[in-house]
């Protein structure tokens, strides 16, 4: 392990050091809680700079990790996402008097997990990254230990997550058994040269691997936990739960398929086709009947996983580019949407704000209502928001690959989705609310709203910068 290795994982090391520091701060006799968030954000900022600027591209740690533009792009996005998720969480935690260092510390550990997953060049690293992402999230979902809903969310996520991880691990074992190695390059060589022990073993192994990813990104029928967990978890956490694992999961899966399993994909078309179709349909239909905003967004996130699965089905340059673009837009808009929902909770007596809570928001907080509308329209794929472009790229890449019926289904689905995305909009603009005083908007939420505006509107009107960034990132692996 040389200094180049250390340099290549500088972001991870910075994050781990910050996370440990946060734990120390929290356990001090008189913890300065107001400094916790600032410390965590500082760590993330340094990590972002190092992720973008330090270390040359290449393989590190005896081929365990690989730094390339693709990994850099996804890492940067993950770091920004984590920072925004922390900012969304700060006012929420303070309001509910639960601000503790562990929250931020665990967020940072989870972020390290995400970074390791996309950098991984070996299934060992993928597994470690996945678990490092998951275990803190189990805790965070159940972070409000005095709320039984939070407890339940934690338990559900933990048991089902560990169950799925069992299959995932079994998949790795089978792949190792078949190819005799866990490194991407070794497996790719064995598979492409046909020297593996048995093709059946390889396929079964990848199938089980797929289960693990499908669980993380919430593809139907592995999605069942998602609505419950997102609903029960603290809202600031739902924002991260519905974005972080999807980002890491899809990014890693795409790379894995592109680098290792491209040759065997012909066996998977039917399965992924059906998974994608099922996921988007189930997600959208179930979202139609939700009154709780959190559950609605949860099902919406399931539906978006279905669209994203189209990219996995096709796995070529176009679809990979579309997926990265879509993911970028999706994670930032969803995060902001959850952030806004977390604000709405305050005004209501119940912990779960429904569509009701939106009533009259346009009069109380015109800018907040505009931001929420923007997020929902982008998620629904209204032109000229970036959400529309993302769908357009994605569907177009899928059609190019010859999946006309799947595209038609996806279009129909996205049109159905408009119905439930517009319900809060209608409530905000067209129905008077009981409460007319303006909600105070915490300063910490503003960066998330700005990021939303930049990505949903900015990248909608001037998509070129984001398109170039994602295109150059994707050309590293496809």
Partner 1 sequence: MVAPLQHIIAVAGLLFSIGVLGVLFRRNAIIVFMSIEIMLNAVNLAFVAFSRYHGNIDGQVFVFFSMTLAAAEVAVGLAIMVALFRNLKTTDISKISSLKY
Partner 2 sequence: MADTLYLLVLFPFIGFLVNGLGGRWLSGKQSGLVASLAVAGSFLIGAQLFLGLLARPEDNRRLVQTLFTWLPVGELNIHVTYVFDPLAAIMVLVITGVGLLIHIYSIGYMRDDPGIRRYFAYLNLFTFMMLNLVLSDSLVLLFMGWEGVGLCSYLLIGFWFSDAAKARAGMKAFVVNRIGDAGFLIAMIMIFDRFGTLSMADISWLAPGAGIDTTFITTVTLLMFVGAVGKSAQVPLYVWLPDAMAGPTPVSALIHAATMVTAGVYLVARNSALFALAPITMGIIAAIGTITALLAAIIAITQTDIKKVLAYSTISQLGYMFIALGVGAFSAAIFHLMTHAFFKALLFLGAGSVIHGMGDEQDLRKMGRLRQLMPTTFMTMTIGALAIAGLPGLAGFFSKDEILWSAFNSSGGISWIWLVGLATAGLTAFYMARMLFLTFFGERRWAEGVKPHESPSVMTVPLIILAFLSIVGGYAGVPEALGGHNALHHFLAPLMATFQASGEASQAANHPLELLLMLLSTGVVLVAAYYAYRFFVQQPGLPETAAGKFPQLYRLSNRRFYVDEIYALLIIRPFRALADLLWKWIDVRIIDNLVNLAGRTTERLGGALRLMQSGLIQHYASLLLLGVVFILLAVAMG
Distance CA 475, CA 467 (A): 12
Distance CA 409, CA 122 (A): 36
Nearest approach, Cβ of 385 to partner 1 (angstroms)? 30
Nearest approach, Cβ of 126 to partner 1 (angstroms)? 11
In degrees and rounded to multiples of 5, residue 457 shows phi and psi of -90, -50
Q: Is the CB of 128 or the CB of 467 nearer to partner 1?
A: 128
Binding site for partner 1 (CB under 8 A): 124, 127-128, 131, 135, 138-139, 142, 145-149, 151-156, 158-159, 162-163, 165-166, 169-170, 172-174, 176-177, 180-182, 227-229, 231-232, 295
Would you count residue 286 as binding partner 2 (CB under 8 A)? yes
Would you count residue 262 as binding partner 2 (CB under 8 A)? no
Reduce the DSSP state of residue 410 to 3 states and report it: helix
Nearest approach, Cβ of 224 to partner 2 (angstroms)? 4
* Residue of 17, 259, 429, 457 interacting with partner 2 (CB under 8 A): 429
Query: 59 forms bridges with which residues in the sheet?
Result: 66
- Whether a cis peptide bond, with omega within 30° of 0, leads into 384 is yes
Number of helices (H) and strands (E) in the chain: give both, helices first.
22, 2
Interface with partner 2 (CB under 8 A), residue total 68
Using CB atoms within 10 A of its CB, is residue 147 exposed (0-12), middle (13-18) or buried (19+)? middle
Distance CA 315, CA 399 (A): 13
Radius of gyration of the CA atoms of the chain, in A: 21
Helix 69-95 to helix 101-119 angle (10° resolution) is: 160
**CB distance 257 to 312 below 8 Å:** yes
Site for partner 2 in 152-171 (CB under 8 A): 155-156, 159-160, 163-164, 167
Query: 107 forms bridges with which residues in the sheet?
Result: none
Would you count residue 215 as binding partner 2 (CB under 8 A)? yes
- The listed partner (partner 2, partner 1, none) that binds 131, CB under 5 to 8 Å by sort, is partner 1
Site for partner 2 in 346-405 (CB under 8 A): 366, 382-384, 388-389, 392, 395-396, 399-400
**Complete DSSP assignment for 38-86:** HHHHHHHHHHHHHHHHSS-SEEETTTTEEE-HHHHHHHHHHHHHHHHHH
Q: Is the CB of 150 or the CB of 342 nearer to partner 1?
A: 150
Q: Is the CB of 65 or the CB of 448 nearer to partner 1?
A: 65
Q: Is the CB of 232 or the CB of 245 nearer to partner 1?
A: 232
* Residue of 82, 83, 248, 287 interacting with partner 2 (CB under 8 A): 287
Would you count residue 438 as binding partner 2 (CB under 8 A)? no
Mention every residue, 6+ apart, whose C-beta is less than 8 A from residue 94: none
Would you count residue 426 as binding partner 2 (CB under 8 A)? yes
Q: Is the CB of 101 or the CB of 232 nearer to partner 2?
A: 232
Q: Where on the chain is the footprint of partner 2 (CB under 8 A)?
A: 155-156, 159-160, 163-164, 167, 203-204, 207-208, 210-211, 214-215, 220-222, 224-225, 227-228, 266-271, 274-275, 282, 285-290, 366, 382-384, 388-389, 392, 395-396, 399-400, 407-408, 411-412, 415-416, 418-419, 422, 426, 429-431, 461-464, 467-468, 471
């Amino acid at each position: 392990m040389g200094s180049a290795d250390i340099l290549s994982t500088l972001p991870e090391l910075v994050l781990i050091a910050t996370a440990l520091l946060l734990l120390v701060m929290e356990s001090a006799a008189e913890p300065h809680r107001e400094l916790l968030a600032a410390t965590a954000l500082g760590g993330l900022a340094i990590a972002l700079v190092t992720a973008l600027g330090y270390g040359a591209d290449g393989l590190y740690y005896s081929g365990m990790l690989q730094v390339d533009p693709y990994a850099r792009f996804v890492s940067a996005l993950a770091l920004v996402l984590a920072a925004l998720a922390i900012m969304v969480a700060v006012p929420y935690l303070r309001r509910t008097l639960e601000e503790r260092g562990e929250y931020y510390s665990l967020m940072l550990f989870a972020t390290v997990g995400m970074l390791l997953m996309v950098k991984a060049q070996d299934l060992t690293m993928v597994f470690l990254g996945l678990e490092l992402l998951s275990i803190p999230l189990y805790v965070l979902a159940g972070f409000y230990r005095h709320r039984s809903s939070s407890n339940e969310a934690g338990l559900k996520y933990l048991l089902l997550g560990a169950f799925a991880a069992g299959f995932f691990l079994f998949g790795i074992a089978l792949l190792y058994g078949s190819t005799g190695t866990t490194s991407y390059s070794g497996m790719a060589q064995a598979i492409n040269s046909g020297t593996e022990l048995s093709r059946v073993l390889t396929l079964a192994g990848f199938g089980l691997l797929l289960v693990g990813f499908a669980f993380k990104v919430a593809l139907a029928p592995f999605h069942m936990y998602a609505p419950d967990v997102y609903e029960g978890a603290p809202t600031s956490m739902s924002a991260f739960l519905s974005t972080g694992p999807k980002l890491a999961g899809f990014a890693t899966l795409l790379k894995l398929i592109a680098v290792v399993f491209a040759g065997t994909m012909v066996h998977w078309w039917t399965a992924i086709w059906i998974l994608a179709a099922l996921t988007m349909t189930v997600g959208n239909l179930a979202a139609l009947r939700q009154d709780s905003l959190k559950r609605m967004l949860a099902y919406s996130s399931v539906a978006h996983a279905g669209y994203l699965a189209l990219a996995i089905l096709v796995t070529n340059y176009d679809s990979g580019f579309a997926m990265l673009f879509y993911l970028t837009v999706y994670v930032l808009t969803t995060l902001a949407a959850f952030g806004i929902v977390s604000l709405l909770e305050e005004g209501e007596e119940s912990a779960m704000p429904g569509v009701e809570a939106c009533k009259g928001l346009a009069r109380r907080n015109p800018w907040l209502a505009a931001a929420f509308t923007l997020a929902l329209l982008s998620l629904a794929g209204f032109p000229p928001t970036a959400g529309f472009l993302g769908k357009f790229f994605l569907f177009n890449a899928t059609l190019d690959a010859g999946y006309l019926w799947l595209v038609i289904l996806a279009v129909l689905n996205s049109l159905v989705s408009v119905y439930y995305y517009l319900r809060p909009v209608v409530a905000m603009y067209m129905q008077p609310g009981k409460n007319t005083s303006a909600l105070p908007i915490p300063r910490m939420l503003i960066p998330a709203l700005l990021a939303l505006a930049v990505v949903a509107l900015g990248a909608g009107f001037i998509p070129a910068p984001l398109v170039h960034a994602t295109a150059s990132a994707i050309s590293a692996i496809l």
